[in-house]
Amino acid sequence: MSRFKPTIEDVARAAGVSRATASRVVNNAPGASGPLRDRVHAAVAELGYRPNEVARALASGRPRAVDVVAVTYGPGIGWLGTHPYFSRVLAGMMPVLEGAGAQLRLHSVSRDTGCGGTGDGNTGGREAAAAAIDEIAANATLGAVLADVTPDLATRFLRRCRRTVSMVPTSSAVPGMEADNVGGAYAAVHELYRLGRRRIAAIHGPEFNPCAIDRRTGYRRAVAELGLGEHSADGGFHREGGYASARTLLDQDPGIDAMFVACDLMAAGAVQAITASGRRVPQDVSVIGFDDSIAAVCTNPPLTTMRLPVEEMAAAAARLLLEGTPAAGYRQRFPVDLVVRASSGHGQ
Amino acid sequence: MSRFKPTIEDVARAAGVSRATASRVVNNAPGASGPLRDRVHAAVAELGYRPNEVARALASGRPRAVDVVAVTYGPGIGWLGTHPYFSRVLAGMMPVLEGAGAQLRLHSVSRDTGCGGTGDGNTGGREAAAAAIDEIAANATLGAVLADVTPDLATRFLRRCRRTVSMVPTSSAVPGMEADNVGGAYAAVHELYRLGRRRIAAIHGPEFNPCAIDRRTGYRRAVAELGLGEHSADGGFHREGGYASARTLLDQDPGIDAMFVACDLMAAGAVQAITASGRRVPQDVSVIGFDDSIAAVCTNPPLTTMRLPVEEMAAAAARLLLEGTPAAGYRQRFPVDLVVRASSGHGQ
DNA sequence: TCTTCGCCTGAGAGCGCTCTCAGGTCTAAC
DNA sequence: GTTAGACCTGAGAGCGCTCTCAGGCGAAGA
């Protein structure tokens, strides 16, 4: 097989037409027809021609690529490799993008170090993150989806790239897909209450994460309304944190009979910690997670959880970007529903 | 903030130099120096100039982008959103690519339907997949990593794009990162044997998956050498399949005292099925998984598993691509090591 | 002082494609 | 027969950047 890559010039020559006509046919644009179309198609087939996307992008000024920016934090490589959230975003967008002939470019920015690397240094971390965000925004083309991001970074991104949509709540003008995190957490606590639980602890995500903040708010609101005490710890949105927090919580107050855990990964850790302490889930301690990610069904018992429709949100974000520049402050809301499995139990 | 995007022309004008000089400075190329460098840098800073990657790619003929192709199969959206494998590949490559200023483009091809969509139709599935592969290969630039792929598709890809590396074993000339899947499975069975288990069943991955084939081979070899019987089922590399297979296996032969499960996700399902059957893990049935993915530590008890160094493999693949075109048939081998957790037990 | 060499620098030619615009053809209506 | 209108077609000008090449200039050697 020859390594020769035919250009549209070659196609045009082979078909005996001009470059413009060949382009029209290849792009299925109107204004060329009948015999010429056939000749061009034949030439394309014969030469094995494929348009060069890069040239096409440059010439048309609108490259067909959506940038997905995952702002990660946490130990090691960040969440990208372990937290199911990101794959769900990708999986949700992929079919939409592919259907539109758009590419998906993935970027990761570590909130702490700028680059999506393994570094843990804090020296100039914020500036590095900001610089990385600028860099990506400057080259974002069809648009960008901020998979997880802090409001300041989101605002900064929007300044360079209007065609942006955030997957997490940001207070700013950044268009976003917004799940009812507050309501979900609120509903989880109420469900636990309904099951007869009265000492409902919470394991939250990191305090700078917008989703974590909302879920915490929902928990607090519910607990306050129900006249219950507040017991909570920060589990950092990773399993290890969930384990450690559950332990701490149980040590502090052995009477805890339920836990609302702000993500399934942490909930998996919490279930392990509860079990390790000699308690049973759900008989002794009822657990409700959040996300309905793959982690929820891997635990034993499987997790009752609040389903975050990540795939749907991601698909909607992709569609929004494909359509054009979303209006500043645009919001699309998604419900967060209870999915009952075994970890919450059946009540007394 | 103005929406004006300065070009290198603007920078050159502002600095009072030619476009060529501005380009040299921006690219840190030799042949420009002293005062001019400073002037250009000043202009860049003042205008907030960012090189347009698309134009740069077209002009230089070497776009800095690596394409990651995930060939998925299975129900629904495929594995992309649920199987931890893909995120690990991404997470492993990201730091390397970012360090080299390269972008990461993600593609998914469904083995069954071509597009990475949700379809389940088989009509023309293979041809669609092949067409999608061709399309991606034609535009692959810096190179491509085949995250999971069947040998036929890999070969086809290589035909259009020499700069390719596979993450799974392919018998063809495709350069690849090769983990010792056979040895890992073999070692797992031996470990189970060492623990005193004599009825060691296996839950395999889909028979067309190269990794699954190798792991099956390792299992068979070990079982044959140890003079044990073979009991196995296909779990399709997803949790549900693991659950169903474990159930079936246990029904067929209630005396099974150990299971080698070819991926952690399936193992999570298997553990649930074993528990549901009234047996204990590891006391009654010892379980060893494969991968050491996040799923391994979410289960209860946590899984003893064979660690597949996916991140390292992915990073190595990225480095290989960055370096140039790997030789046909190039192989880099990775060990698969036992990670002992609770699901295998301590022996009698 | 003249030549040689080396180092800067800028002009200009593309990379492969899109898209506008002017010209050309053909049909139909006057 | 003439003309307006609709529809094709191709020439050519870029998109923003890279990179080659030749000219210019100063230092060093003859």
- Give the DSSP H/E element, type plus range, for residue A148: strand A143-148
- Cβ within 8 Å, pair B82-A87: yes
Give, in Å, how far the C1' of D26 lies from the CA of B323: 40
Q: Do the beta carbons of residue A174 and residue A165 sit within 8 Å?
A: yes
Whether residue A298 is contained in a domain is answered as yes
How many CA within 13 A on the CB side of residue B104? Answer: 33
Same domain, A224 and A283: yes
pLDDT above 70 (res B176): yes
Helix (H, G, I), strand (E, B) or coil at B169: coil
Q: What are phi and psi of B8, to 5 degrees?
A: -70, -25
The predicted structure's pLDDT at residue B336: 97
- Would you place residue B78 in the very low, low, confident or very high pLDDT band (cuts 50, 70, 90)? low
Same domain, B237 and B303: yes
Question: Which nucleotides of chain D are near protein (any atom < 7 Å from a CB)?
Answer: 7-20
Task: Work out the average pLDDT over A222-231.
Answer: 97
Which residues, including other chains, have CB under 8 Å from residue A250's CB and lie 6 or more apart?
A: A256, A273, A274, A277, A279
For B115-157, what is each residue's pLDDT tens digit? 544 344 444 567 778 888 887 887 777 778 888 888 888 888 8
Same domain, B302 and B185: yes
How many CA within 13 A on the CB side of residue B143? Answer: 24
Whether residue A345 is contained in a domain is answered as no
Closest CA to B242 of B288, B278, B193: B288
The predicted structure's pLDDT at residue B116: 47
Whether residue B1 is contained in a domain is answered as no
The predicted structure's pLDDT at residue A140: 76
- CA B282-B283-B289 angle, 5° bins: 15
Structure tokens at A312: 């749907």
The CATH number given to whatever domain includes residue A72 is 3.40.50.2300
- Would you place residue A2 in the very low, low, confident or very high pLDDT band (cuts 50, 70, 90)? very low
The predicted structure's pLDDT at residue A285: 98
Q: Do the beta carbons of residue B342 and residue B302 sit within 8 Å?
A: yes
Highest mean pLDDT among A69-73, A140-144, A217-221: A217-221
The predicted structure's pLDDT at residue A274: 97
- Would you place residue A26 in the very low, low, confident or very high pLDDT band (cuts 50, 70, 90)? confident
**Nucleic chain C: which protein residues 11-70 of A have CB below 7 A from it?**
19-20, 23, 26-27, 29, 49, 51-52, 55-56, 58-60
Task: Work out the average pLDDT over A258-273.
Answer: 97
Total domain count, chain A: 3
Other CB atoms closer than 10 Å to residue A37's CB: what's the count?
Answer: 16
Same domain, A28 and A107: no
Other CB atoms closer than 10 Å to residue A198's CB: what's the count?
Answer: 14
Task: Work out the average pLDDT over B72-84.
Answer: 69
The predicted structure's pLDDT at residue A125: 65
pLDDT above 60 (res B1): no
The predicted structure's pLDDT at residue A146: 84
Nearest to B87 among A3, A80, A162 (CB): A80
Helix (H, G, I), strand (E, B) or coil at A138: helix
Q: How far is CA A169 from CA A144, A292, B20, B161, B252, in A?
A: 15, 19, 44, 41, 51
**Nucleic chain C: which protein residues 8-27 of B have CB below 7 A from it?**
16-21, 24
Which residues, including other chains, have CB under 8 Å from residue B225's CB and lie 6 or more apart?
A: none
Which residues, including other chains, have CB under 8 Å from residue A323's CB and lie 6 or more apart?
A: none
For B254-292, what is each residue's pLDDT tens digit? 999 999 999 999 999 999 999 999 999 999 999 999 999
- Would you place residue B33 in the very low, low, confident or very high pLDDT band (cuts 50, 70, 90)? low
Which residue has better confidence, B31 or A38? A38
Average pLDDT, chain B: 87
Same domain, A190 and A107: no
- pLDDT over 70, % of chain B: 92
Q: Do the beta carbons of residue A139 and residue A58 sit within 8 Å?
A: no
Same domain, A163 and A197: no
Same domain, B233 and B301: yes
Which residue has better confidence, A63 or A187? A187
Same domain, B142 and B233: no
Q: Where are the alpha helices (DSSP H) in A112-165?
A: 125-139, 151-160
Least confident of A41-55, A217-231, B198-212: A41-55
Whether residue B339 is contained in a domain is answered as no
Nearest to B159 among A1, A58, A80 (CB): A1
Q: Do the beta carbons of residue A294 and residue A114 sit within 8 Å?
A: no
- Cβ within 8 Å, pair A54-B141: yes
Least confident of A20-29, A188-197, A282-291: A20-29
Distance between CA atoms of residues B204 and A172, nearest Å: 49
Which residue has better confidence, A1 or A319? A319
Distance between CA atoms of residues A272 and A287, nearest Å: 11
From chain B, the residues in CB contact with A58 under 8 A are 52, 54-55, 58
Same domain, B167 and B188: no
pLDDT above 60 (res B341): yes
- The terminus-to-terminus CA distance of chain A in angstroms comes to 72
Whether residue B340 is contained in a domain is answered as no
Q: What are phi and psi of A69, to 5 degrees?
A: -110, 120
Which residues, including other chains, have CB under 8 Å from residue B141's CB and lie 6 or more apart?
A: A54, B57, B62, B63, B64, B65, B67
Place of tokens 């384990």: A243
Same domain, B158 and B189: no
The CATH number given to whatever domain includes residue B38 is 1.10.260.40
Whether residue B188 is contained in a domain is answered as yes
Which residue has better confidence, B334 or A107? B334
Q: Which nucleotide is nearest to A49 (CA to C1')?
A: C16
Whether residue B139 is contained in a domain is answered as yes
- Would you place residue B348 in the very low, low, confident or very high pLDDT band (cuts 50, 70, 90)? low
- Would you place residue B307 in the very low, low, confident or very high pLDDT band (cuts 50, 70, 90)? very high
Helix (H, G, I), strand (E, B) or coil at B120: coil
The verdict on A78 touching B (C-beta cutoff 8 Å) is yes
Interface test with B, best of A5, A49, A53, A54 (most B CBs within 10 A): A54
- Would you place residue A205 in the very low, low, confident or very high pLDDT band (cuts 50, 70, 90)? very high
Whether residue B2 is contained in a domain is answered as no
Enclosing domain of residue A145: 65-179+311-333
Same domain, B159 and B78: yes
- pLDDT over 90, % of chain B: 49
- Would you place residue B2 in the very low, low, confident or very high pLDDT band (cuts 50, 70, 90)? very low
Same domain, B113 and B190: no
Instruction: Specify the pairing of strand B143-148 against strand B114-115.
Output: unpaired
